[in-house]
Structure 1
Amino acid sequence: MTDESTVPAPALRISLRDRAPEFYRSLLDASRAAIAGLADPVVTELVNLRASQINGCAFCLDRHASDARAKGEQEHRLDTLAAWRETPYFTARERAALALTESVTLVAETRVPNAVFDEAAKHFSEAELAHLIALICAINALNRVGVTSRLTPAPKR
């Protein structure tokens, strides 16, 4: 068994923050605008985490798990988020947001079925739903930047 502290992280391929700063800032601004319009910190972090799990973005997983904990999210919910359908820990509103997150994240496969969209529309106002969709799109874009560039979390001390 290898000591994880000795395994080097993959090398950063390229920094979009440094090489395409206007684009990178615009992604962050889009994410902030979606978060502000949704105004639901719990759903925000669940959405960010679930999309990041699906996309395998280590940087975003680390960041949003830390953010969720800082906002008081419970460990058992974070521990079971990948299997949210099989747990009793999430509200109907959170489940609708998670289902929409998965469907939008996997849009090439799912085409976002009416049933998924309609369920989300039952739990979110039109303005909230628009911002939820914007948030899902923003985190997916950020995940793609993180995965493509090999952005990694900072080592924990």
Structure 2
Amino acid sequence: MTDLKHHRGMTVRRLAVAVLAAAAAGCSTTVAGTPVAAGGDADTDLVLAYFTALNDAGEQGADSQADFLRRTQHPDFTDRFCDLDDLVVRMAPVASTLRPDPDWKPEKSADAPRGDTYVIAVTVTIRRGTATLGEQIGSQRVVLLGGEAYGFTPCPAE
């Protein structure tokens, strides 16, 4: 009987050590670099307000949202505005993912946009009328320039 208790005790201890070692190995993550805080509450508020206005415009319809996107297209990239036709996008940002992205350049661009560029994770829902055509998770850039938030019109896949 004593041997059985001793055997069970050893098995439980070995199992506990194995579980703790596995948990420590899986949970210990080192991220290279130094964390950089976003520009503060004011910048966060501007970025999130951009998405609120984008979604509010989308609730008014495709034409209203296209007007919003045209007005808020980054001034250095107005030649890259995409016509979404009758599509409406809804972007739900995840505020905790907002971070500076100073080295980002739009595709096929040699230069970064003027201003402070931020990247944020968003869930994008694409609608035509009342029908949802798709949903995906991605990253969206917003640039703060002169106290205004500017974006880059999403372009539908060809």
State TM-score, norm by structure 1.
0.26
Bigger Rg, structure 1 or 2: 2
TM-score (norm 2): 0.26
Structure with greater proportional helix content: 1
Q: Whose RCO is larger (CA < 8 A, sep 6+)?
A: 1
Where is the strand percentage greater, Structure 1 or Structure 2?
2
